[in-house]
Amino acid sequence: MINVPKTSMMSAVSLIVPNVTKPVVKSVAPTVGKYLVPPAKKATLTSYSMSLLTGKGAMRVTSGIASTAQIRLAHTDLRVPDFSDYRRDAVKDSNKPTSESASSRRAFTYMVIGAGSVATAYAAKNVVTMFVSSMSASADVLALAKIEIKLADIPEGKNATFKWRGKPLFVRHRTAEEIAAEQAVDLSQLRDVQHDNDRVQKEEWLILLGVCTHLGCVPIANAGDYGGYYCPCHGSHYDASGRIRKGPAPLNLEIPEYVFPDEDTVLVG
Amino acid sequence: MSLSSLANTAYQKVFRKTSSFAFGILLGAFVFEIGFDRVSNYAFDYINRGKLYKDVKDKFAAGASEEE
């Protein structure tokens, strides 16, 4: 659909193309009585009323002896630049079909893109790894966070104190009587209910943080009513399993994470 | 011709679908990482040979055992 400007000029032009017009005025004038009445002129006030007068349909071009429709473009004398420096070797010969080398040229292009993507993926992975690993603790910090204790140095019935992460760490070598007594404790008697087996990995070794759960004083070992620990600050009594038995403290003494790498050492942290 | 058929196979199997192309890139990145890291570590060791701890470890290990 060609957008035709709706002017009187246009309608005049369209008249000479016989195919697409309807006449501006009817050819037969109506008569009223014996007088010849000129046709009423329609007012072309709106685009609709004008569109009734102008040509319809596509514009057509007529050709003939009198009309010249041909345009001659000056192209035969233009020199085409030589692009052979930019062409691939496979397509330099204009007499050879390019379809033969199409797959190898295409594969080469994709190979270049793929290799670049592989290198980019590798670089991106390393950048991400760098940032993520910078968030984790360094090796020296991790080494400081652990303590290795030789158990042979602690005689039976003794409680040794170590400094671990700025806090006192109790390692208690329990006697057989203590173990038997703690195993036999009635759980209904306890404030913070926990069986002795849940607090030790090996029965003879009790490892806990020497921080009273009341206000954080350091309890005294082998003291108090229950033979375990006694906090001098406000009088909390812990048994030989580190469980709160009497006094204001609400919870049992905390057990850190630890492992026994071999029979004679314990690694806390 | 075998190179062309190889290229054609590679195009049909890997490059043609975006999903398989991306998967190939991912797989290639893993393989490339192994090779590239190995080569660059070897180059680093070669350039710094004689200065690294693993080169002088024997000397220090012997000295440490004497001190104990």
How confident is the prediction for chain A on average, in pLDDT?
79
CB contact under 8 A, B32 and A119: yes
| Tokens read off for B68 | 């104990």
Distance of alpha carbon A10 from alpha carbon A16, whole angstroms: 11
The structural domains of chain B, with segments of one domain joined by +, span 3-67
Mind listing the pLDDT tens digit for each residue in B18-38?
999 999 999 999 999 999 999
Q: Over range B47-59, report the average pLDDT.
A: 86
Among the partner-chain residues A110, A119, A125, the one whose CB lies closest to the CB of B15 is A110
Residues of A in contact with B33 (CB under 8 A): 122, 125
Tens-digit pLDDT profile for residues A67-103: 666 676 767 777 888 888 998 888 888 888 888 888 8
Average pLDDT over every residue of A219-235: 83
CB A208 within 8 A of CB A242: yes
Chain A residues in contact with B26 by the CB 8 A cut-off are 121
Distances (CA, A) of A133 to A26, A115, A169, A268, B40: 91, 27, 30, 24, 20
Please name which of A46, A28, A45 lies closest in space to residue A37, comparing C-alpha atoms.
A28
CATH topology for B3-67 is 1.20.5
pTM of the model: 0.46
**Cα–Cα distance, B47 to A252 (Å, whole number):** 58
DSSP string, B5-55: HHHHHHIIIIISSHHHHHHHHHHHHHHHHHHHHHHHHHHHHHHTTTTSHHH
Contacts of A115 in chain B (CB under 8 A): 28
User: Three-state DSSP class for A42?
Assistant: coil
Shortest CA gap B23–chain A (Å): 11
Asked if residue A169 lies in contact with residue A223, where contact means CB atoms within 8 angstroms, the answer is no
What would you report as the CA-atom Rg of chain B, rounded to the nearest whole angstrom?
Answer: 23
In chain A, which residue ranges form alpha helices assigned H by DSSP?
8-15, 47-51, 99-135, 139-144, 176-183
